[in-house]
Amino acid sequence: MESKYFDDPAVALDVFVETFARAAKDEEVLKSIETMDELVYFDLTKSDPSIAFHLDTRDGKRIIAVGNPQGERPDITLSLSVDTAHKAWSDQINPVMAVATGKMRAKGNQVTLLKLAPLLKLITPIYNQVLDDRGLSHIKF
């Protein structure tokens, strides 16, 4: 896997999925999720074929699962590298700017991207805590 921050794709996937799982239980994040009714696919397979997960907030659900949502078409697919994900979730780059500069590609409903941007900002402290919990605080910045 090509990454400046992660050596093991399984660790990167675990950190990303755990971040969103914890975020789905956070009161402030829940307020943001309540405005969404979307299936979002995070495709990080550019860095490694095993790194992909999805977030399903349709019909009040809060499902975070590994892989592509089988048999369902995501409202938006975000394609990015592991390093871009790390930078976006640790608040080193703005997700909207990442799309504008081509570091992140968004395919699908662009309104969903606008709804997702504030959510991604809210997960920074959660992401940093997951890194700490996994003994990876050295990669925060």
Domains of the chain (ranges; CATH) run 9-129 (3.30.1050.10)
pLDDT attached to residue 97: 84
- Mind listing the pLDDT tens digit for each residue in 11-35? 999 999 999 999 988 888 887 777 7
Strand partners, 63: 56
Buried residues in 8-27 as b, exposed as e (16+ CB within 10 A): ebebbbebbbbbbbbbbeee
- Mind listing the pLDDT tens digit for each residue in 70-112? 889 999 899 999 999 999 999 898 887 888 899 999 898 777 7
Q: What is the pTM of this model?
A: 0.91
End-to-end CA distance of the chain: 20
**Residue 23 identity (one-letter amino acid):** A
pLDDT attached to residue 17: 96
- The pair phi, psi for residue 89, each rounded to 5°, is -80, -15
Cα gap 76→38, rounded to integer Å: 8
pLDDT attached to residue 82: 96
What one-character DSSP code corresponds to residue 75? Answer: S
